[in-house]
Amino acid sequence: MAPCVDSHGNNLCQKHIQAPVFRISDALCDMKINSVGEDDVWVKMRGEARDDAESEPVLAGFLHSTVLAHRTLESALAFHLANKLSNPSLSSTLLYNVFFGVLKDDAGIQEAIRADLRAVKERDPAWISYVHCMLNFKGFLACQGYRVAHKLWTVGRVALAFAIQNRVSEVFAVDIHPGARIGKGVMFDHATGLVVGETAVVGDNVSILHNVTLGGTGKQCGDRHPKIGDGVLIGAGSNILGNICVGEGAKVGAGSVVLTEVPPYTTAVGNPARLVGGKRNPRKLNRAASSTMDHTSYISEWSDYVI
């Protein structure tokens, strides 16, 4: 299972980071990208933004200020998140400084951002471009807001971490405790109603749909939330409760209530959830469920009920 993606001991945001000047010039638009190697994702995103600005003049100003006026993906994302999450008493300028201060210094988060963008491209048929994903996919945005909040949590800035969690919950309807640990290459599809508890762990390359709860079972303290392995697919409306493990590559069918361990590369479905093929000899999946995004392959073995 993937470790926490932001384990680097980098410094947090500096108080005097200057917000970017949001005006467009040819020199700025053509500036070489230095954030993560050649950064093919950022180069592609800027090209997509230019194309969209030309084809849809109504969005031209928005695309210039949010994407094309920035030197790096980190700056653009920080600016967009800051505008999304600000309110009358929490200014977008202050939030930009916090977000950019975290994103620019943490290579682990930078890698995770790009892996998350690629995950949406590979797994979501609604994907049309990187820039569309960054600007409009609230599951992606909520996950990046969590990544910043988690970084703040790990260095003791608990009050600010909780404030960001609250704003993410209010704006995106996604409630991820800043103490949770989430890997890279994660896709939160639709994302509305997603709840992830404090001691939950989500591995790399996991796909989770809307109205999913990774929760506890009562009032107990300590390690009390699920551990989700790499490559797991969790269907819409599922509830996985308690300090249990969903093994690598497994699938949890939509609407399931999972209260016990799910072995790797198996399918659990129902309320309460049962393993397809039975507990003694469960049917094994050939590939990690998150990569196939197949939500219905178990139906013929699970039930002969047909609408």
Per-residue pLDDT in tens (0 to 9) along the chain, 307 residues = 544 434 333 333 333 333 343 333 333 333 333 444 469 999 999 999 999 999 999 999 999 999 999 999 999 999 999 999 999 999 999 999 999 999 999 999 999 999 999 999 999 999 999 999 999 999 999 999 999 999 999 999 999 999 999 999 999 999 999 999 999 999 999 999 999 999 999 999 999 999 999 999 988 889 999 999 999 999 999 999 999 999 999 999 999 999 999 999 999 999 999 999 998 899 999 999 898 888 776 665 555 444 3
106 three-state secondary structure:
coil
How is residue 58 annotated by DSSP?
G
State the amino acid at position 198 in one-letter form: E
Name which of 120, 133, 254, 253 is nearest 188 in CA terms.
120
What integer pLDDT is reported at residue 11 of this predicted model?
37
What integer pLDDT is reported at residue 303 of this predicted model?
55
CB 288 within 8 A of CB 248: yes
- Domains defined for the chain, CATH in brackets: 1-173 (1.10.3130.10), 197-307 (2.160.10.10)
What integer pLDDT is reported at residue 298 of this predicted model?
65
DSSP 165-226: HHHHHHHHSEEE-TT-EE-SS-EESS-TTEEE-TT-EE-TT-EE-SS-EEE-SSS--SS-S-
241 three-state secondary structure:
strand
What integer pLDDT is reported at residue 253 of this predicted model?
95
Q: Token pair for residue 67? A: 């994407």
DSSP H stretches of helix in the chain: 26-29, 40-55, 60-63, 73-85, 92-103, 107-123, 130-136, 138-154, 158-172, 289-292, 299-302
Residue 6 has, within 13 A of its CA and on its CB side, a CA count of 28
